């Protein structure tokens, strides 16, 4: 069988690709010619009539695809922290407490109401003494003298989200020189004495 047998026209592209792949990176030369019937012939041997070498482009090297790292999920937006309005209902600013036996009732109002996991921290003279979630809390061990009390809302993570400025109050105890008065708020009654013209 002749090596230069004509190849059907539709099979030419397939044959051409097969020759190129078979040669790989070798230095073999591909020739193209047309036979007497007008058929295009590809061969690696120079033909005797009208053959001319073909310039082939280098085969493109196909590299492995570079893996792409998955994008991290966007952070979930957090709900805005609730801002509270605090007011210390008791004790009141510059109030004097008499005969408390060291116990001071503290009441704090919050607007809006506390969320779940939030609580109110009570500070006496700058030190944390107790926490409450509503109502009144009795703070014990308060000596007589002038004190300051403040409050702050603490969230579930332990962070302060709202503060209340300090309120100054005074604690006084009864003396044997003064008559006994009902424990509570305000000043004791004045000393009684003989009226005008008394003996």
Separate counts of helices (H) and strands (E) for the chain: 1, 12
Residue identified by tokens 């397939």 is 14
Q: Provide the 8-state DSSP code for 116.
A: T
* Residues 87-138: tens digit of each pLDDT: 999 999 999 999 888 899 999 988 888 888 899 999 999 999 999 887 788 9
The three-class DSSP label of residue 164 is strand
* Residues 19-48: tens digit of each pLDDT: 555 555 445 677 777 777 777 777 766 655
- Judge whether 4 lies within some domain: no
- Judge whether 127 lies within some domain: yes
- Judge whether 184 lies within some domain: no
- Judge whether 196 lies within some domain: no
What are the start-end ranges of the E strands in the chain?
A: 31-34, 40-43, 52-53, 85-90, 95-98, 104-111, 119-124, 127-132, 136-139, 145-154, 160-172, 184-185
In terms of residue numbers, what domain contains 156?
85-174
pTM: 0.49
The verdict on 32 and 90 lying in the same domain is no
């Amino acid at each position: 069988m002749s090596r230069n047998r004509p190849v059907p026209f539709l099979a030419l592209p397939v044959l051409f690709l097969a020759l190129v792949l078979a040669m790989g990176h070798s230095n073999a030369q591909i020739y193209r010619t047309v036979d007497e019937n007008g058929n295009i012939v590809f061969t690696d041997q120079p033909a005797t009539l009208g053959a001319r070498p073909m310039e082939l482009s280098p085969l493109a090297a196909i590299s492995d695809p570079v893996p792409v790292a998955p994008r991290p999920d966007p952070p979930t937006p957090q709900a805005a922290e609730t801002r509270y309005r605090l007011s210390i209902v008791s004790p009141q600013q510059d109030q004097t407490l008499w005969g408390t036996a060291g116990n001071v009732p503290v009441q704090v109002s919050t607007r809006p109401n506390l969320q779940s996991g939030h609580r109110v921290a009570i500070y006496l003279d700058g030190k944390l003494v107790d926490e409450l979630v509503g109502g009144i809390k009795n703070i014990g061990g308060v000596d007589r003298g002038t004190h300051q009390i403040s409050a702050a809302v603490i969230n579930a993570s332990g962070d302060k989200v709202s503060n209340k400025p300090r309120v100054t109050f005074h604690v006084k105890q009864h003396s044997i020189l003064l008559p006994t008065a009902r424990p509570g708020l305000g000043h004791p009654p004045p000393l009684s004495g003989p009226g005008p013209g008394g003996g």
